[in-house]
Structure 1
Amino acid sequence: MTAKKVLISGGSRGIGKSIALKFAQEGCEVLFTYKNSDKEALELVDHINENYSCPPAKSYKCDMADAADVKRLFKENKEDFSSVSALINNVGGHGKLKPFMFCSNDYFQEILGMNLMSVVNAVREVLPIFIRNKGGRIVNITSIAGTKGNPGHSPYAASKGAIIGFSKSIVKEVGSMGIIVNSVAPGFVSTESTDDVPEKYLKMRIDNSIYKRMGMPEEIADVTYYLGSSSPEYLTGQEIIVDGGITG
């Protein structure tokens, strides 16, 4: 992947940040988007540029759930994005823990937009680049909730499940053009978003893991890097589960 270029959506914190650091460590040019975390984005760019022997990293502020904003992002940065060889769709969030009966349609749509439409919008803009360049890789970060479900997170589970079907459909349309599409489904991973998880729920999830611990974002980053760089062409249209054996 030397001198190759990766675009990561939601790269300033959590799993996205670990993915950005992994690609930078391997010598790739890292471009990433963020929505609100200006300070974290600047710090990550500075950290990569000061500590890794890779082309300078860049960050871009964008609401990936907003189709118009994503279109603007790609139009304004046409030169930067024209040689992107991998797209990592990491934007997402599970929202508040609440039963479906207490989820309004607006709230449901908000979570669908954050998780599903952020992927749809990015793929729509990157496919012409990959087709023109006769190849590219897409890795979508999903969740075991997309296949297993999760009480209190029905909009999140629905959106992640939809990404799985979307990914499998896209690869059947563009796979013959040299475009590889896979997904990574993390289990319970230690990030900023899990800091306020109730202790009882945290213990239950950890007890369900073979290793009796949460996953680390670096473990997700390692698998994502492999799929976004050197995994075989024949490995496509798949969802790789990284969950400590919870669904095994």
Structure 2
Amino acid sequence: MSDKKLALVTGASRGIGFAIAERLIADGYRVVGTATSEAGAESLQTKLREHGDEHSALVLNISDSEQTEAALKALLSEYGTPFVVVNNAGITRDNLFLRLNEDDWNAVVNTNLTGVFRVCKALAKAMLKQKAGSIVNISSIIGTTGNGGQANYAAAKAGLEGFSRSLAQEIASRNITVNCVAPGFIQTDMTDVLPETQKEAILASIPGKRFGHVDDIAGAVAFLASEDARYITGQTIHVNGGMNMG
């Protein structure tokens, strides 16, 4: 087994998650990324191993309690205890509140909030025994500002930040930090399909006058995972070009 520190990145098959995985590899970590399907995990593993055979991928569906517990038990057995855990996996089910049904509410909260609880719960004892580590949870500007049509997503991300602060207080004495990174509008395949008028309206609200890049988020995560951030815990770093300040 490699002597490099292990980093787990959930939802790593594309976009922000994959950029985080690549940045942590560049910073010297042995990375295990996750995807929700066998095909997705195989594709991700092929991409990660372009950087070295010590990197890998596994199937993880954080919306499923039993599958999450089994997958992370296997992770601990095969790869060891992660030093860095990045909870990036998440979903959206957008709709105006009056049209938002309970299934879509529950799906988003179950994945984006309870799913992170499941991952942390499955790894907590091993990390506490290790007495070192960093948990970085990917939140969103929407958790702070809210957004029409995203009541479920906003609630889950706001809850994620509260959960992170509480967990940070409980495990700080074991030299484990817990922080959030809250992206603003980041250029991904989701923003690429927005109508030009909508893109212009969003850009008008960003003092930086550009969408963020996935590497902007990866850089913030890498900092929080580094020794330079060992005295930072229970915080949310906003990466949004000045769209929200406070």
Tell me, yes or no, whether TM beats 0.5. Answer: yes
Distance 1:216 1:63 in 2: 26
Contact 1:145 1:157 in 2 (8 A): yes
Call closer, same or farther: CA 1:81–1:150 in 2, change over 3 Å.
Answer: farther
| 1:31-50 mapped onto 2 (5 Å cutoff) | 31-36=32-37, 38-39=39-40, 41-50=41-50
- What's the secondary structure of 2:156's corresponding residue? helix
Which residue of 1 is the match for residue 224 of structure 2?
227
Contact 1:28 1:55 in 2 (8 A): no
Q: CA deviation at 1:81?
A: 4.3
Percent of matched pairs sharing the same residue: 32
Which residue of 2 is the match for residue 243 of structure 1?
240
Call closer, same or farther: CA 1:170–1:113 in 2, change over 3 Å.
Answer: same
Q: Does 1:166 align with 2:167?
A: no
Q: CA deviation at 1:29?
A: 0.3
Give TM-score scaled by structure 1 length.
Answer: 0.92
How many residue pairs end up in the alignment? Answer: 243
- What's the secondary structure of 2:81's corresponding residue? coil
Which residue of 1 is the match for residue 91 of structure 2?
93
Q: CA deviation at 1:21?
A: 0.5
Q: CA deviation at 1:180?
A: 0.4
Q: CA deviation at 1:45?
A: 2.6
Structure 2 alignment gaps of length 5 or more: none
Q: CA deviation at 1:87?
A: 0.3
Q: CA deviation at 1:139?
A: 0.1
Which residue of 1 is the match for residue 18 of structure 2?
17
Which residue of 2 is the match for residue 80 of structure 1?
78
Contact 2:143 2:157 in 1 (8 A): yes
Q: Structure 1, residues 86-127: CA drift from partner, whole Å, max 9, x if none?
A: 10000112333x211110111100111121112111010111
2:105 maps to which of 94, 105, 108: 108
Which residue of 2 is the match for residue 66 of structure 1?
64
Q: CA deviation at 1:36?
A: 3.4
Q: CA deviation at 1:47?
A: 3.2
Give TM-score scaled by structure 2 length.
Answer: 0.93
Contact 1:210 1:244 in 2 (8 A): yes
Distance 1:11 1:204 in 2: 29
Call closer, same or farther: CA 1:119–1:178 in 2, change over 3 Å.
Answer: same
Coordinate RMSD, CA, aligned = 1.7
Q: CA deviation at 1:15?
A: 0.3
Q: CA deviation at 1:55?
A: 5.7
Contact 1:29 1:55 in 2 (8 A): no
Q: Which runs of 4+ in 1 moved over 3 A?
A: 41-44
Which residue of 2 is the match for residue 208 of structure 1?
205
Q: CA deviation at 1:26?
A: 1.7
Q: Structure 1, residues 41-63: CA drift from partner, whole Å, max 9, x if none?
A: 4344333323x3x5621111121
